[in-house]
Chains A and B, each alone.
Chain A
Amino acid sequence: MSIDMAQFIDAFLEESFEGLERMETELLALDDGDPETLNTIFRCAHSIKGGAGTFGFGAISGFTHGVETLLDRMRNGEQEAAPDTVNLLLRAVDTLRAQLHAARDGGEADPAEVAEVRALIEAHLGDAAPASEARTPPAAGGNDGTDASSGGDHGGPRGWRIHFQPYADLMRTGNDPLRMFEVLEELGTLNVHCETDRLPDHADAFDPEDCHLAWTLELEGDATRDQIQEVFEWVEDECDLLIEPLEAVSVPTAGAPPLTPEPAEMGATTPRRPEAPAARGGSGNRGAESSSMRVNAGKIDALIDMVGELVITQSMLTDISEQLEEDPSQMEAQIERLRTGLGELERNTRELQESVMSIRMVPIAQVFNRFPRLVHDISGQLGKQIELTLKGEYTEVDKTVMEHLGDPLVHLVRNAVDHGIEMPEERAAAGKPETGQVTLEAFHRGGNVVIEIRDDGKGMDADRILAKARDAGLVGPNQHPDRHEILQLIFEPGLSTADQVSDLSGRGVGMDVVKKNIRGLGGNVELESEPGKGSRLTIRLPLTLSIMDGQLLKIGEETFVIPLIAIVESLQTLPESVKQVFGKLPLYRLRDEYIPIVDLAALFDRTEPSPLPERALLVVAEADDQRVALRVDDLLGQQQVVIKTLETNFRKVPGTAGATILGDGQVALILDVAGIARMASGRDTRAA
């Protein structure tokens, strides 16, 4: 049988990465060598070793063997779970991860690191070469024994006499002498003689589940002793077994009918040798990152249920159309049914959509799980005592959102540990517990995923941020932002220079990048902080990226969609608030702010804007902290739209974020407010 093992390698890699994460988490939680935790860690290593061997990654299997042996000793209490051992195991987890990545991408993990960690583990075991055993070929695989002699090598007919006397219990482990004889029969010509002398005389002494028989078997042919022993391998402790070469031409023992038809000539029944194991699949030359994901089976079942409902609704609608055709006089009654049917269809579609969406949702634990290690490592380096608490790890987020969330979160948690939490002495002096608390929490609120990063560290000094911001020219001398506004300034690019690390608790570094990343996911981030008490960063993200709440707009003959989240307000212009500036876009004064009025028709067609009517309809939208007022002819409804990229079928169009298909089949462009703002200001300078 040839089976391509490559098809299972993705699944193996995926579960191995999960296993490594699990190992890491549990290693970090390993208090005093808790046996249950150690068992879990051991199991992860064990699975990786077994899978790596099976799927053709011998080196990984060999490496893991050392790790597994060390863990086995720890769980048996033979080795202490000392901090340096735990750290070594953590390092081994990293090395394994690198090896698996290399296996997936067709590269090679740093051999020096692999060798060094392996040597360290072996040194820990006090054992020179613990890993060689991992690649021993299995005994039960049907490999032919190389050292085995054939029976009766003295010229005569060759074969073996086997005396087999099972203990009474043999069949209770599911072994069956008959099946074993059938295997032997494949090795040559088999004659079976059954010995019944141990059968009890009385029926009450007879237990039908016991084995009361013994056999003498004669096997003629080229079978080796090893091949025969292999047949009895599973029962060697449950029977008396004697295997000896046949001395002469065997005559079937009287009274024992041969199991097979009379043999033809010697050697006609050649033993069936299993073919050599097929080449291992999966040369390790895997394509780049796979985009497979694991989905909870329950979600798929729900989906199938819903499709079932949909089919029922569809057949109901078909039935209505047939009825109408047959008997048009029943029009009214059928229209009533049609409405019901369409109502059903709408409900089915909505449920189906929700359920398909949920397939893309994955628990945020996949991101959160890397933080215990991160916090452990950084706090160790800094000499701080920090307790990290994860909450709501099973909150689900869109897969794409999750993949892009990792880096910003690492940055924020690192900052909290690095700059938020004080040194133990400092904390003690301030009357706080020496161990600082960092909490990472995720939850759903109002159609958003909210992630909070809280610390009970020294907090932020708003006055100093304001002073810095004034220096950097971010806040004018006449502007007096409130405390909340001041704190949000740390997300400004101007405050993100390295020399402010110490001045501003280091939080200036890269915070603008964090904010940009999160806005890129359609979310936002806010900071609250109290000096001496700590800080709280709140990230709000949409549940998914492929569907959004949109507002439909009419501009000229065209319908556009604008993301609801971008809309600040919609209003009718007051003539006195419009300010015409020569050579520039007209501005609209909204409270104390002047906002450029964009004529989309002009912007897209690159024509001169048409004169603004006295009472125009404006939609004020904001993105990347820039506001624009879009001139629209009508506001239509709000609805959820499925975002489709234009690039796939056409090309990227500046000022749009994609397109969607409306209920009537019309294509509507989705406006990219940030892009429009950029285009508007570009036009602005060009015109000036």
Chain B
Amino acid sequence: MAKVLVVDDSASMRQMVAFTLKQAGHEVVEGRDGKDGLSKAQGAKADLVITDVNMPAMDGLQLTRELRKLGDYKFTPILVLTTEAGPEKKQEGKAAGATGWLVKPFDPDQLMNTVNRVLR
């Protein structure tokens, strides 16, 4: 069982992701935007971070960069949720330090397949 930090400004996406992860037995911490996510991350060491990209206050790419600066998150898997299927956007995520990405729309099965690639 892992602790997963889910950061998304959309409550419905956050709920869906959180619910799916909890069903799979994981503990979930939620963040409303990048800024909130960063403070939640500092409060509790997560084993995996799943973050949206486009968010107010601090976007997911900046959050990823900030997390990588923290000792606790140097090697923690960080997945970005993106609606852009193009390689450019994915590379932006990689450049910021993300482990991988998950393209929206996705369903709970696709989410868990991706999560299981990094939570072992």
Contact of A47 among B9, B68, B100 (CB under 8 A): B9
- The interface-forming segment of A111-119, A172-180, A350-358 is A172-180
A139-B103, A140-B102, A175-B99 known; A54+B16 contact, CB < 8 A = yes
Instruction: Give the residue name and chain of the B residue nearest to A136 (CB).
Output: B85
Verify if A49 is at the interface (C-beta below 8 Å from B). yes
Contacts of B106 in A (CB 8 A): 54, 138, 141
**Interchain CB contact under 8 A, B117 and A47:** no
Verify if B94 is at the interface (C-beta below 8 Å from A). yes
Contact of A237 among B76, B91, B100 (CB under 8 A): B91
Contacts of B26 in A (CB 8 A): none
Contact of A5 among B16, B23, B68 (CB under 8 A): B16
**Interchain CB contact under 8 A, A277 and B109:** yes
Give the complex CA separation of A457 and B103 in angstroms: 54
How would you classify the secondary structure of chain A's contact residues: helix, strand, loop or mixed?
helix
Contact of A1 among B77, B78, B109 (CB under 8 A): B109
CB distance from A301 to the nearest CB of B (A): 15
Give the complex CA separation of A54 and B110 in angstroms: 11
Verify if A133 is at the interface (C-beta below 8 Å from B). yes
Contacts of A5 in B (CB 8 A): 16, 107-108
Verify if B70 is at the interface (C-beta below 8 Å from A). no
Verify if A234 is at the interface (C-beta below 8 Å from B). yes
**Interchain CB contact under 8 A, B19 and A8:** yes
Among A8, A14, A172, residue most surrounded by chain B Cβ atoms (within 10 Å): A8
Contacts of B13 in A (CB 8 A): 12, 47, 50-51, 54
Verify if A46 is at the interface (C-beta below 8 Å from B). yes
A40-B56, A176-B75 known; A15+B107 contact, CB < 8 A = no
Give the complex CA separation of A490 and B82 in angstroms: 56
Q: Mark B79-120, 1 if CB is under 8 A from A, else 0.
A: 001010100000100100111111111111110111001101
Interface size on B, residues (CB 8 A): 46
Among A133, A173, A179, residue most surrounded by chain B Cβ atoms (within 10 Å): A173
Considering the complex, which residues of chain A in the window 180-204 have a beta carbon less than 8 Å from any beta carbon of chain B? 180, 182-183
**Interchain CB contact under 8 A, A139 and B112:** no
**Interchain CB contact under 8 A, B76 and A278:** no
A8-B15, A171-B75, A275-B109 known; A51+B10 contact, CB < 8 A = yes
**Interchain CB contact under 8 A, A15 and B12:** yes
Contacts of A238 in B (CB 8 A): 94
Give the complex CA separation of A631 and B89 in angstroms: 78
CB distance from A139 to the nearest CB of B (A): 6
Verify if A55 is at the interface (C-beta below 8 Å from B). yes
CB distance from B6 to the nearest CB of A (A): 13
Considering the complex, which residues of chain A in the window 23-81 have a beta carbon less than 8 Å from any beta carbon of chain B? 40, 42-43, 46-47, 49-55, 61
A54-B106, A179-B120 known; A174+B113 contact, CB < 8 A = no
Give the complex CA separation of A53 and B82 in angstroms: 12
Contacts of B83 in A (CB 8 A): 46, 49-50, 53, 134
Verify if B54 is at the interface (C-beta below 8 Å from A). yes
Verify if B20 is at the interface (C-beta below 8 Å from A). yes
Give the complex CA separation of A173 and B20 in angstroms: 25
Verify if A97 is at the interface (C-beta below 8 Å from B). no
**Interchain CB contact under 8 A, B110 and A55:** no
**Interchain CB contact under 8 A, B68 and A172:** yes
Verify if B24 is at the interface (C-beta below 8 Å from A). yes
Verify if A209 is at the interface (C-beta below 8 Å from B). yes
CB distance from A19 to the nearest CB of B (A): 8
Contacts of B109 in A (CB 8 A): 1, 141-142, 274-275, 277-278
Instruction: Give the residue name and chain of the B residue nearest to A11 (CB).
Output: B12
Considering the complex, which residues of chain B in the window 33-58 have a beta carbon less than 8 Å from any beta carbon of chain A? 52, 54-56
Give the complex CA separation of A136 and B74 in angstroms: 33
Verify if A233 is at the interface (C-beta below 8 Å from B). yes
Give the complex CA separation of A61 and B106 in angstroms: 13
CB distance from B21 to the nearest CB of A (A): 11
Contacts of A42 in B (CB 8 A): 54
Verify if B11 is at the interface (C-beta below 8 Å from A). yes
Contacts of B75 in A (CB 8 A): 171-172, 174, 176, 209
Contacts of B91 in A (CB 8 A): 237
Contact of B104 among A53, A172, A174 (CB under 8 A): A53
Give the complex CA separation of A274 and B115 in angstroms: 13
Verify if A519 is at the interface (C-beta below 8 Å from B). no
Contacts of B56 in A (CB 8 A): 40, 43
**Interchain CB contact under 8 A, A234 and B54:** no
Instruction: Give the residue name and chain of the B residue nearest to A176 (CB).
Output: B75
Verify if A3 is at the interface (C-beta below 8 Å from B). yes
Verify if A280 is at the interface (C-beta below 8 Å from B). yes
Instruction: Give the residue name and chain of the B residue nearest to A297 (CB).
Output: B32
Contact of B11 among A11, A139, A172, A173 (CB under 8 A): A11
Q: Mark A619-650, 1 if CB is under 8 A from B, else 0.
A: 00000000000000000000000000000000
**Interchain CB contact under 8 A, A54 and B105:** yes
**Interchain CB contact under 8 A, A140 and B101:** yes
**Interchain CB contact under 8 A, B12 and A1:** no
**Interchain CB contact under 8 A, B20 and A3:** yes
Q: Which residues on B are within 8 Å of A, measured CB to CB?
A: 9-13, 15-16, 19-20, 23-24, 52, 54-56, 68, 74-78, 81, 83, 85, 91, 94, 97-110, 112-114, 117-118, 120
* Top 8 A-B pairs, shortest CB-CB distance: A53-B105, A174-B99, A234-B100, A12-B12, A138-B103, A141-B110, A11-B12, A142-B113
20 interchain pairs, CB-CB under 8 A: A1-B109, A8-B12, A8-B16, A11-B12, A43-B56, A47-B13, A49-B83, A50-B10, A51-B10, A51-B13, A52-B105, A54-B16, A54-B104, A138-B103, A138-B105, A142-B110, A172-B75, A176-B77, A179-B118, A234-B94
**Given A3-B19, A172-B97, 13 other A-B contacts at CB below 8 A?**
A12-B10, A43-B55, A50-B52, A51-B12, A54-B16, A55-B12, A139-B85, A140-B101, A140-B114, A141-B114, A142-B113, A174-B98, A176-B77
